Amino acid sequence: MKATVEKIEKNKVKLEIEVDPHIFDKAMESAYLKNRKNIAIPGFRKGKAPRKVIERYYGERIFYEDALNIACPEAYDQAVKENGIEPVDRPEIDIVQIGQGNPLIFTATVTIKPEVELGQYKGVEVEKVEYPVTDEEVEERLRQELERNARWITVEDRAVKLGDRVTLDYSGTVDGEAFEGGTAQNQSLEIGSGRFIPGFEEQLIGANIGEEKEIKVTFPEDYFREELKGKEAVFKVTVHEIKEKELPALDDEFAKDVSEFDTLEEYKADLRKKMEEIAKERAQVENENNVISKVVENATVDIPEVMVENQLDSILRDFDYRLRFQGLDLERYLKLTNTSLDDFRAQYRNEAYNRVKTQLVLEKIAREEAITVEEADMEKEYERMAEQYKRSVDEVKKDFAGSAEYIKENLLIQKTVDFLVHSAHFTEKKESAEADSESEK
């Protein structure tokens, strides 16, 4: 096989590939064996006619399509590898010469990865992000735990107030007509939760058990159902039950009930420790992202449109996958939000572009700095995964055998990010005069 490369555009090349006659003849033989059972020739049982007889009867072109499908991909892959080309799209194939006894010659025009011009990437200066855990945040977390362990006590001697949980019936109309989803019985609602249409819950305050109350509300202009956007609705509501929240006492007994600790102070200390670990991880991720953003911003690259479109396809697949866990899919989501697929793609175009650029820049830095993933790195990652999935290392290797290359690529990117973060210069965050003033208050 011979191949020549011609650069025809900035990120596009044309390969002219010549396949030896005997290799193409093997492809023709494979095409014959594949198709002979379907070919009828007078004087021969179906599927038994020799290849030469079929080619004389129908012409050798009868096998060209399948022979090309056999010979071209292999020759193309070999040419790409030998010439160090990194395609990012399917090639456009054109046949230049074909025929038995002659070399098969074809061209493959393909978009390739663009060249990246790196700017400063070592020692970039970024403001350090930190999230110190305050006493107020710990107290708020304790309050949330109290809320989580609250009891709901039935009350019968007063009207509804903010924070109550009520059981009610309601029936709604728009322009005097009932509408789908506007009626329910024995519906549970916490007053102040914001679950219902704005204004609905507030108007229930002061209602008594058994009393029928008329509530008037207006659906928001951005309501998900087109026919109800901005419409005024009237609901007839009857409250059947009122419950108020009773919080447990914040003491050692509470700590014993909700944790493995004997005292409230021990429980608070453990809460703070866990909150500080989460805050540290959050700060680490943001610091990494800020370094990467700075490095990517300093680089220049002309990204082919096909790479952005492919990344958009990936974003859409991920989005659809997450929606399915909520009982939706992308098609239904677009209908509910009154969004076209083109508008949705436009919304995520910048994100797709930035993802592609970031990937290209990090790959370039890895090459420049000779960053590699060794066998020891892979073993360490398998051990981490084994601990995460509660399986043995051998089981993890077997389960992820088909993803080894993907794991290796991710490790390479992470090692490159670690290199950039390690070399970065972190400065203390500059507080504005306004922020200082607010802090003093």
Per-residue pLDDT at 438 exceeds 90: no
The pTM of this model reads: 0.75
Report the pLDDT value the prediction gives residue 441, as an integer from 0 to 100: 41
pLDDT at 433: 42
Q: Does the pLDDT value for residue 192 go beyond 80?
A: yes
Quick one: average pLDDT of 97-119? Answer: 94
Residue 436 has pLDDT above 60, yes or no: no
Confidence of residue 362 (pLDDT cuts 50, 70, 90): very high
Q: Kindly tell me if the per-residue pLDDT of 434 is higher than 50.
A: no
HEC string for 359-426:
HHHHHHHHHHCCCCCCHHHHHHHHHHHHHHHCCCHHHHHHHCHHHHHHHHHHHHHHHHHHHHHHHCEE
Q: Is the pLDDT of residue 389 over 50?
A: yes
- Rounded mean pLDDT, 173-195: 94
Q: Mean per-residue pLDDT for 238-248?
A: 96
pLDDT band at 336 (very low <50, low <70, confident <90, very high): confident
What's residue 82's pLDDT? Answer: 94
Range with lowest mean pLDDT among 119-123, 216-220, 437-441: 437-441
Mean pLDDT of 259-273: 96
Mean pLDDT of 122-140: 95
pLDDT at 431: 62
Q: Which of 98, 81, 128 is nearest to 23 (CA)?
A: 98
Helix residue ranges, H only, 21-167: 21-35, 51-58, 64-82, 135-148
- Residue 343 and residue 384 in contact, taking contact as beta carbons nearer than 8 Å: no
Contact 114, 305 (CB under 8 A): no
pLDDT tens, 400-417? 999 999 999 999 999 999
Domains of the chain: 2-112 (3.30.70.1050), 151-246 (3.10.50.40), 274-433 (1.10.3120.10)
pLDDT of res. 235: 97
Q: What is the CA radius of gyration of the chain?
A: 34
**DSSP track, 56-82:** HHH-GGGGHHHHHHHHHHHHHHHHHHH
Digit-coded pLDDT (tens) for 16-32: 999 999 999 999 999 99
Instruction: Evaluate if residue 327 carries a pLDDT over 80.
Output: yes
DSSP state of 260: S
Residue-wise pLDDT for 223-232, tens only, equals 888 889 999 9
Return the percentage of the chain with pLDDT > 70, whole number. 98
Residues 387, 390: Cα–Cα separation, whole Å: 5
Cα–Cα distance for residue pair 225/219, rounded to 1 Å: 10
